[in-house]
Structure 1
Amino acid sequence: MNSNLKNLKTELNLELQNILSYWMENTLDEKNGGFTGQIDYNNNINNEAEKGSVLNARLLWTFSAAYKISKNAEHLNTAKRAFEYISEHFYDAEFGGIFWSINYNGTPKDTKNQIYALAFVIYGLSEYYSVSKDEKSLELAIALYSKIQEHSYDSEKGGYLEAFTRDWKPIDDLRLSEKDANEKKTMNTHLHIVEGFANLYTVWKDESLRKVIIELLETIEKYFINTETGHLRLFFDENWIEKKDVISYGHDIEAAWLLLQCAEIVEDEVLIANYKTYALQIAEATKEGIDEDGGLWYEFDPETNELMAEKHWWPQAELMIGYFTSWQLSGKQEYLDIVLKNWDFIKKYILDKENGEWFWGIDSNYSTMKNDKAGFWKCPYHNSRACIELIHRI
């Protein structure tokens, strides 16, 4: 192993422990149970913030996955805390879905079924089952998978619909967040459904699930990967009519490695070969979003020719895995150099050396963005996963 990789592995091991320590020390909600819903830029804890299903699902995944490396009982206990809180408060026993958000005291707040959230809960539950062998977590994951297949899968046109009411009726506002287009089929949700289903397949070798994953990967290949540009198409209506949108560099490079991993999990040789090609094509296309300092810009709008000149924390994490994968596939040193330079960028600008964890990001003049340190969308999943994936791969 060369010294660069040895140093990188050592530093990532240390950073993984730092991330996990931050969440254990700052986010356990001892008064109301589970985890605090928000910590601001100055590390002020808001114990009365709403709690998001996505944050909690990602905490479940993070501590379960990290336990495989750390073998630290506290990490497994934290995963167990997340599992119990999700199953007691986020799982909707009446209609078999997942509440999008709950109040700080554990009562339901936004009760819609956002399929993205169900997919992340499946992802977390599968990972937790792999380390805990708690049958309840596997049963719940399978039940949620069945609900997605029953209500979200479009048997006529293929793919998955975004969101439903609590009792699985159509809903007007399908968006994950205010910045998203209000469309019925999105790249982001399909990416994370296949990620959740593939993780479920690692612990539940069900042949019908395998076929569902293969079909999903074929659907993503058909509609979401733009083989002319090497970027992803983001939004469609239910009839697969594309809606123009931005280039999201973080999603591009995340999909590059993650979809290949899903193809490898189901061991489909044709899809593996195809997604290896896409991984390298997307990596080449994503280069346009890398700044001279090694950081990855957030988004680019081809219509207006405008760059969203911010460097958020999570695209940096995904860049590391995406280009490490490209290096593994091609042997090209330039890809590994991109990873090492990006890690230097992260250490310099993104790590909060005073309070711990990663800042939300920086803007074009290198000032730190004053967004949440922990919250609805700020969680330890992207950064811990970058550490975990690269530690395993090195």
Structure 2
Amino acid sequence: MNLSVFKSEMQQELRSILDFWIQHSIDEQQGGFYGRLDNDQVIDAGAPKGCVLNARILWTFSAASGLTNDWRYAKIANRAFAYIRDHFVDKEYGGVYWSVTSRGEPLDPKKQIYALAFVVYACSEYYIAMHSEPAKQLAMDCYRIIREKSFDPLHGGYLEAFARNWQPVEDLRLSHKDANEKKTMNTHLHVLEAYTCLYRIWPSDELKQHIKQLLAIFEQHIIDAHTGHLHLFFDEQWNVRSGTVSYGHDIEASWLLLEAAEVIKDEELIAKMKTLSVKMAEAVIIGVDTDGGLWYEYEAAHNRLIREKHWWPQAEALVGFYNAWQISGRHEFLQYALNNWSFIKQHIRDNKNGEWFWGVLEDHSVMPGQDKAGFWKCPYHNGRACMEIIRRIV
């Protein structure tokens, strides 16, 4: 496949993904977007609505609007911003709720820094597309409260979660599969991503220093210097609390770290992150199956490979391997990206109903009982992958 065909297919795929969300996700009765849609397009109208889902919808349609100038995408972005502003923002204690009911009332009001980061990310992108001052203000408000409430001045980095009133909370986890630890790779990666997007609309020295601090944390604590994989969970002092390898996060971080360095225009960091990007992409190759798909996780403590291929690691592999090829010029990285796209088209994309399945098992059968849209299943990973490839192929 030549690159012009690859770009054309990415443009077509982006339209297909966004069309699916326009057609199936809008909750006309209760406002905003449905909280859940299963693989058979059956709507769960009573499902809770998650802040992460709504922020990712806002980011995706804002970015797509900016890329394509399609008014339909701007309309969805406007709807998403209004819903977040009206239903997720905690007007008493600041920040955003983790979830609301299907009717938009507070459900789980805890303050998960991961969710605040996505609101910063999404509102910054919305400002880029729409020049909305209220969106910029919300992004700044969430950024400042992250710094005020979550930053650890003693050991560096950000604490994971708090009660609604910003008091300590026992359960810090994003989901049931996560370790209940004070600091996580995942939240730090998405705080970095949020700060990077915020810097595009607020290029301050203060924010640049916070981005540089985060890149240093990844280099010093989160990336394993020997393997190139990411450690996932930590205590407050950055002692590692997990031996699991997440191939999807490895390849996602490989390009997001470089993007952050490039946005702040720090030449020394750009050179350092390019070297790290290639090293991390090399580390992920062991997780690529012969069919081109990327396995989910490897549990080192039990020497067990999780033989599932979820949608989002495939999306990140497209960008991460393409990025590694752009840096290194090594053709095998481009081939990994193209092979992954072939795998997606054959096994992950729902060629009948649209969008991508949550994932497939080892025999390529669709994972049962998963969401097509939901708390975690959003248009962000695959939509962003399409947009990144479109931008990178000139």
Partner of 1:13: 11
Partner of 1:235: 233
Code of the residue aligned with 1:285 in structure 2: it is A
1:166-205 alignment, distance < 5 Å? 166-205=164-203
1:123-272 alignment, distance < 5 Å? 123-272=121-270
Which string of whole-angstrom CA distances, capped at 9 and with x for unpartnered residues, describes residues 119-153 of structure 1? 00100000000011110000110010000000000
Partner of 1:105: 103
Deviation at 1:303, TM superposition (A): 1.5
- In structure 1, C-alpha distance between the alignment counterparts of 2:239 and 2:348, rounded to whole Å: 38
Partner of 1:349: 347
Q: How many residues in Structure 1 have an aligned counterpart in Structure 2?
A: 392
Deviation at 1:267, TM superposition (A): 1.3
Partner of 2:385: 386
- In structure 1, C-alpha distance between the alignment counterparts of 2:238 and 2:285, rounded to whole Å: 28
- In structure 2, C-alpha distance between the alignment counterparts of 1:105 and 1:150, rounded to whole Å: 31
Given the two structures, how large is their TM-score scaled by the length of structure 1?
0.99
Q: Is residue 66–residue 128 contact of structure 2 (8 Å, CA) maintained in 1?
A: no
Deviation at 1:272, TM superposition (A): 1.2
Deviation at 1:245, TM superposition (A): 2.5
Deviates more, 1:94-103 or 1:267-276: 267-276
Given the two structures, how large is their TM-score scaled by the length of structure 2?
0.99
Which of 297, 308, 311 is 1:310 aligned to?
Answer: 308
Which string of whole-angstrom CA distances, capped at 9 and with x for unpartnered residues, describes residues 186-240 of structure 1? 0000000010011000011122111111111111211001120010011110111
- In structure 2, C-alpha distance between the alignment counterparts of 1:380 and 1:287, rounded to whole Å: 25
Q: SS of 2:59's equivalent?
A: helix
- In structure 2, C-alpha distance between the alignment counterparts of 1:235 and 1:268, rounded to whole Å: 28
- In structure 1, C-alpha distance between the alignment counterparts of 2:206 and 2:328, rounded to whole Å: 33
Partner of 1:282: 280
Partner of 2:372: 373
5+ long unaligned stretches in structure 1: none
Deviation at 1:244, TM superposition (A): 2.5
Which string of whole-angstrom CA distances, capped at 9 and with x for unpartnered residues, describes residues 97-133 of structure 1? 1100000000000000000000001000000000111
- In structure 1, C-alpha distance between the alignment counterparts of 2:69 and 2:110, rounded to whole Å: 36
List 4+ stretches of structure 1 deviating above 6 A: none
Deviates more, 1:208-217 or 1:120-129: 208-217
Which string of whole-angstrom CA distances, capped at 9 and with x for unpartnered residues, describes residues 260-307 of structure 1? 101111112222111111100011110000000000000001121100
Code of the residue aligned with 1:186 in structure 2: it is T
Which string of whole-angstrom CA distances, capped at 9 and with x for unpartnered residues, describes residues 163-195 of structure 1? 001110111000000000000010000000010
- In structure 1, C-alpha distance between the alignment counterparts of 2:339 and 2:155, rounded to whole Å: 43
Q: SS of 1:373's equivalent?
A: strand
CA RMSD of aligned residues (A): 0.7
Identity of aligned residues (%): 53
Which string of whole-angstrom CA distances, capped at 9 and with x for unpartnered residues, describes residues 329-363 of structure 1? 01111111111111000000011111110000100
5+ long unaligned stretches in structure 2: none
Deviates more, 1:356-365 or 1:267-276: 267-276
- In structure 2, C-alpha distance between the alignment counterparts of 1:206 and 1:142, rounded to whole Å: 12
Code of the residue aligned with 1:154 in structure 2: it is D
- In structure 1, C-alpha distance between the alignment counterparts of 2:10 and 2:282, rounded to whole Å: 25
- In structure 1, C-alpha distance between the alignment counterparts of 2:159 and 2:268, rounded to whole Å: 26
Q: SS of 1:46's equivalent?
A: coil
Q: Is residue 214–residue 268 contact of structure 1 (8 Å, CA) maintained in 2?
A: no
